[in-house]
C-alpha cells in the first residue's frame, strides 16, 4: 500500500508511522495475551490505544496521507484497532474470571472497601462518543479537522451564505464577545465554520469530520444545552451527488448502531446547503429520532472557500454528539451529561 505524502510537513513520516502500526498489529495481540497483571494490561491498553499511542498518532496523520490512499489506510487502522481491542477484552475477561474464582475461594474476606478506596476514572461519555465517531469516520477514509471555538462573524455566518442582516441568522441565538468591532467576534454557534477553514486550507478532494463545541444563548432544558458538542462532516470532490450524502449517513448510522437501524432525510432549510435536509434515525421501537442537518454545499459557500462551483461539488452534515450519546444509552435528560455526578458517569 503506497501512502504518499501530500503535505510539505516533513515532521510526520507517514511511512514510518504505518510501519509501526503494522508492527503493532503483528506483535500487539501476543504482548496483550502475555500481560501478567490487570495493571500491566491497563498500561498496554494506554500504550497501544491511548491518546499518545501510535494508533492515535496515525489517526491524526490521516491528513498527510494521499486522498486516494485514505480509504485503505483508514481500513487498516480500523482493523488493527479492532484486533487490539478484542485481545484486550479477552485478556480482561480471563482476569475477571480468575478474580471471581479467587473471590469465591476467599469468601470470608470482604475486599469491597479496599477496591472502593481507589476508584479508577474513565473518559467522559461525550469524549467516548466523539472518539467512537472519529474512529468510524477514519475507517471510512475521512480525516479529523478542528477549528477555534471563538470565531469571527465572517466564518460563522457571512462565508456560510448569511450576509449581515440575513434573516436566517436568527436560527442561532448568538453569544458575542466584547472584542473588535461590535458583534464581529463570537462563540461559534455550530461547527460549520470549520467547513470554510478546511476549504481555505486544503485542496480538494476533501473528506473531513470536525468535532467540537458550539455555543448558543439558550436556557438548558431536557433536550438543549447552551454549550454542546457537534460533529461536522464535509466532502468536496468531483461529481458528488445527494445519493453520496444519503449513503454516507446510512453507512455511519449502521456502523455505530447496528445494521437494523435505518435513516431518512426530510426536506429542510439551511442557508449554506441547497438542497437541505434534516436526517432521522429509526429506533428499535419503530420511531424516528432527529440527528442533525445536512445538504449539498451551496455554490456561494464553495466560492467563499476559494473553490469553483463549476468544478467541485460536495455535501456537508452536522449533528449533536449529546443527542447521539443519549440515543445509545437511552438517556432522557441531556443535562445529566454535564452535572458531573460520579454516580451517573460511572455507569458508562
293 makes contact with ligand PHE (CB under 6 A): yes
- Give the count of residues interacting with ligand PHE (CB under 6 A): 11
CB of 278 to ligand PHE, least distance (A): 8
Q: Return d(Cα 248, Cα 234) in angstroms, integer.
A: 11
Binding mask 251-290 for ligand PHE (x = CB under 6 A): -------------------x--x-----------------
Contact between 272 and 302 under an 8 Å Cβ cutoff? The reply is no
- Considering only 294, 304, 326, 334, the residue that binds ligand PHE (CB under 6 A) is 294
- Considering only 208, 209, 317, 326, the residue that binds ligand PHE (CB under 6 A) is 317
316 makes contact with ligand PHE (CB under 6 A): yes
Stretch that binds ligand PHE, among 7-15, 151-159, 314-322, 331-339 (CB under 6 A): 314-322
Q: Which is nearer to ligand PHE, 64 or 228 (CB)?
A: 228
Stretch that binds ligand PHE, among 7-15, 57-65, 200-208, 315-323 (CB under 6 A): 315-323
Q: Return d(Cα 47, Cα 36) in angstroms, integer.
A: 16
CB of 273 to ligand PHE, least distance (A): 5
Cell 458528488 appears where? 240
What contacts 107, CB < 8 A, 6 or more positions away? none
CB of 232 to ligand PHE, least distance (A): 6
CB of 135 to ligand PHE, least distance (A): 21
211 makes contact with ligand PHE (CB under 6 A): no
What contacts 4, CB < 8 A, 6 or more positions away? 65, 66, 69
Q: Which is nearer to ligand PHE, 55 or 210 (CB)?
A: 210
CB of 222 to ligand PHE, least distance (A): 19
What contacts 205, CB < 8 A, 6 or more positions away? 67, 235, 236, 237, 238
- Considering only 53, 192, 198, 248, the residue that binds ligand PHE (CB under 6 A) is 192
Site residues (vs ligand PHE, CB under 6 A): 190, 192, 270, 273, 292-295, 316-318
Amino acid at each position: 500500500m503506497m501512502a504518499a505524502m501530500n503535505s510539505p510537513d516533513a515532521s510526520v513520516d507517514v511511512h514510518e508511522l504505518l510501519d509501526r502500526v503494522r508492527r503493532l498489529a503483528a506483535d500487539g495481540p501476543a504482548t496483550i495475551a502475555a500481560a501478567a497483571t490487570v495493571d500491566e494490561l491497563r498500561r498496554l491498553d494506554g500504550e497501544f490505544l491511548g491518546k499518545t499511542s501510535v494508533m492515535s498518532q496515525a489517526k491524526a496523520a490521516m491528513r498527510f496521507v494521499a486522498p486516494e490512499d485514505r480509504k485503505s489506510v483508514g481500513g487498516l487502522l480500523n482493523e488493527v484497532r479492532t484486533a487490539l481491542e478484542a485481545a484486550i477484552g479477552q485478556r480482561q475477561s480471563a482476569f475477571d474470571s480468575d478474580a471471581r474464582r479467587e473471590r469465591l475461594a476467599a469468601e470470608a474476606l470482604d475486599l469491597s472497601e479496599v477496591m472502593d478506596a481507589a476508584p479508577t476514572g474513565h473518559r467522559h461519555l461525550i469524549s467516548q462518543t466523539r472518539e467512537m465517531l472519529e474512529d468510524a469516520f477514519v475507517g471510512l477514509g475521512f480525516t479529523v479537522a478542528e477549528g477555534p471555538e471563538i470565531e469571527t462573524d465572517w466564518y460563522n455566518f457571512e462565508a456560510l451564505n448569511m450576509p449581515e442582516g440575513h434573516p436566517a441568522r436568527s436560527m442561532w441565538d448568538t453569544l458575542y464577545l466584547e472584542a473588535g468591532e461590535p458583534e464581529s467576534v463570537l462563540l461559534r454557534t455550530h461547527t460549520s465554520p470549520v467547513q470554510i477553514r478546511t476549504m481555505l486550507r486544503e485542496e480538494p478532494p476533501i473528506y473531513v469530520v470536525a468535532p467540537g463545541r458550539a455555543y448558543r444563548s439558550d436556557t438548558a432544558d431536557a433536550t438543549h444545552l447552551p454549550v454542546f458538542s457537534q460533529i461536522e462532516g464535509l466532502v468536496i470532490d468531483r461529481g458528488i451527488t445527494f445519493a453520496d450524502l444519503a449513503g454516507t449517513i446510512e453507512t455511519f448510522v449502521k456502523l455505530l448502531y447496528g445494521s437494523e437501524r435505518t435513516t431518512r432525510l426530510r426536506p429542510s432549510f439551511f442557508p449554506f446547503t441547497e438542497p437541505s435536509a434534516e436526517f432521522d434515525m429509526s429506533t428499535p421501537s419503530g420511531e424516528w429520532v432527529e440527528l442533525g442537518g445536512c445538504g449539498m454545499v451551496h455554490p456561494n459557500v464553495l466560492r467563499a472557500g476559494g473553490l469553483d462551483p463549476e468544478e467541485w461539488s460536495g455535501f456537508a452534515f452536522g449533528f449533536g454528539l449529546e443527542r447521539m450519546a443519549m440515543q445509545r444509552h437511552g438517556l432522557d435528560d441531556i443535562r445529566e451529561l454535564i452535572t458531573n455526578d460520579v454516580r451517573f458517569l460511572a455507569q458508562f
